[in-house]
Each structure stands twice: as structure tokens, then as C-alpha cells.
Amino acid sequence: MNHRFEILEQSSGYRGFFRLEKYRLRHELFAGDWSSEIVRECLERGHAVAVLLYDPERDQLVLLEQFRVGALAFPGGPWLLEIVAGIIDHPGETTEDVARRETIEEAGCELLDLVPIHHYLVSPGGTSESITLFCGRIDAGTVVSGVRGVAAEHEDIRVHVVSRTEALALLHSGRINSAAPIIALQWLELNRSKLLERWRVAPG
């Protein structure tokens, strides 16, 4: 059930690569009254799309290794194993458009099919960012290995093609430790039989 809220004032605290908005607001309480005035900052960094690339014939996945500033102090360091992802940054661009564009840019291959997984908020206590998550069918034999990325965006991405079993081992060991690939891999394990049926691939 949604309750009412009221924005009393909104101002910009910072505008750079990201934007920080400051709010004075109040909202209805579960007891029926209104809260006192609350001050909150919200990071505005746009909305993103992420794609788990899966080859059902070879039972292989594509993982991307790259530097992430938010993981500087995280155990294991700031080079994370992730999945294809990108920001929706063109007017009129759909989530499917972003998924196809980023798959070509980051993995060097094309999507053969795209299956929605979930649309979720990343960390709603402090940012408005959401991610639309997909599973994309690919032919892993067409993946361009090595280092990829858009130089103008300072991307330095190492492409790994791994077995599904290896990817799950990386997940369980904690080597895969960011939200999108964790959610996507767990979804794949729960839904793989339906996915193979959709793609008319016999279970291996």
C-alpha cells in the first residue's frame, strides 16, 4: 500500500559525473500521522540495464572483469567479475536497445534472444538508480576474448568465457560479489529448465 509524501524543498548539492539532490520532505506514518521534517540526500546517476550472457548449447557464460571505484576498500579489491551492463543515456532508448548495444561493445557478440529477469532498485536508501536485468542468449563461439571497452569512457574490460559450473563456483566462493551477477546467476539456476525449453535445447 502506498502512503502520501510531501516534498517541502529540493535543491542540487552537486553536479558532476553524477548528481546529488537534497530533499526536505515528510511522509505519512503507518500509524496515520505525518512524520516530522526529514532531510535526505539522493544520488541521481540514471538507470541501467544488465545482461547475463548465456550459451545454452555450450553451457557457458560471459563474465567481465573491470575496475570499480566503489570497491576500493572491499575485500578482494576493486577488480570485479560482473556481467554486461550500461546506462540508459539516449532519448527514446529502450532497455532492450541498451542490452544489445552494450553486449556488442563489451563482449563483441550479438544477442540471439533476450529474456527479462527483473527490474529492481539498487540501493533505495540513497540512490534512485534502478537496473533492468535480462538473460541473453548468445553463441559463445562468437565472443571476442581479450580486453574490450570504449576508450572515451575509460573502460578497460577483460572478457572471460566460463562454464556455468565455474561461474557458480566463483559465486559461492565470493569472487562474484556485486548484485546484478549474483541475482542473475541465482535466477538462471532456478529457471534454467524453462529457459532450455524456450530455446529448444536438450539439458546437458
Name the strands in the sheet holding 38-44, side by side, starting at the edge strand that comes first in the sequence.
5-15, 19-27, 38-44
For residue 198, give the 3-state DSSP assignment. helix
The values of phi and psi at residue 133, to 5°, are -105, 135
- Looking at residue 36, what DSSP letter applies? P
Helix (H) or strand (E) holding 106: helix 95-107
Residue of 93, 153, 189, 197 marked catalytic? 153
Q: Which of 8, 94, 55, 98 is nearest to 204 (CA)?
A: 55
- Kind of pairing between the strands at 48-55 and 130-137: parallel
Residue 44's DSSP bridge partners are 19
CA distances in angstroms from 192 to 3, 15, 24, listed in the order given? 38, 43, 46
DSSP one-letter string for 117-161: EEEEES-TTTB--EEEEEEEE--GGG---EEE--GGGT--EEEEE
9 catalytic residue (yes or no): no
Which residues are annotated as catalytic? 153
